[in-house]
């Protein structure tokens, strides 16, 4: 028995909760080349419970958002919530709910391990031989220390 939603063709977008919406939008537009699609003004319900009923968050929560587009069809939504009692620490990479966004490029400034080198260490980055199946060159760093548990020799 099929349980596929009738008419489902593709995913429309993925969403990420960020601590600073303006900083996230600025980085993804100015550094990664995303195209702004729209912004969501501050939404809240000062007296009712619509935030709980519609979104499943604290009734006094406030949310702002932005939709960005990468290429012809990849939409990414960023939301910034202000919620009483909100956890501010990001999840560990192994925690349920942790996520990542991967991209493709004709060039790369990251080491082959996918770990981001520490600030200033890209000066020592150098192209490394790429596997024949890779569409992008791999990069390696000679002096990048481990970041977030990653090692440039992974």
Task: Write down the H helix ranges in the chain.
Answer: 21-30, 50-55
Which one is predicted more confidently, 149 or 109? 109
pTM over 0.75? The answer is no
Q: What is the average per-residue pLDDT within 53-65? A: 95
Among the listed residues 81, 74, 129, the one whose alpha carbon sits nearest the alpha carbon of residue 103: 74
CATH 1.10.240.10 fits domain 11-85: no
Where does the chain hold its CATH 3.10.180.10 domain(s)? 11-85
């Amino acid at each position: 028995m099929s349980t596929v939603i009738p008419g489902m063709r593709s995913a429309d977008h993925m969403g990420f909760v960020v601590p600073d919406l303006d900083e996230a939008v600025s980085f993804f537009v100015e550094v990664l080349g995303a195209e702004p699609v729209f912004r969501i003004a501050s939404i809240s319900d000062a007296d009712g419970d619509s935030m709980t009923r519609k979104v499943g968050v604290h009734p006094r929560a406030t949310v702002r958002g932005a939709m960005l587009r990468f290429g012809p069809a990849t939409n990414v939504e960023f939301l910034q919530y202000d919620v009483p009692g909100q956890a501010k620490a990001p999840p560990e990479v192994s925690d349920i709910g942790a996520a990542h966004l991967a991209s493709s490029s004709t060039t790369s400034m990251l080491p082959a391990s996918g770990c981001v080198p520490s600030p200033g260490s890209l000066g020592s980055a150098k192209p490394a031989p790429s596997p024949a199946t890779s569409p992008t060159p791999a990069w390696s760093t000679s002096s990048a220390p481990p970041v977030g548990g990653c090692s440039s020799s992974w």
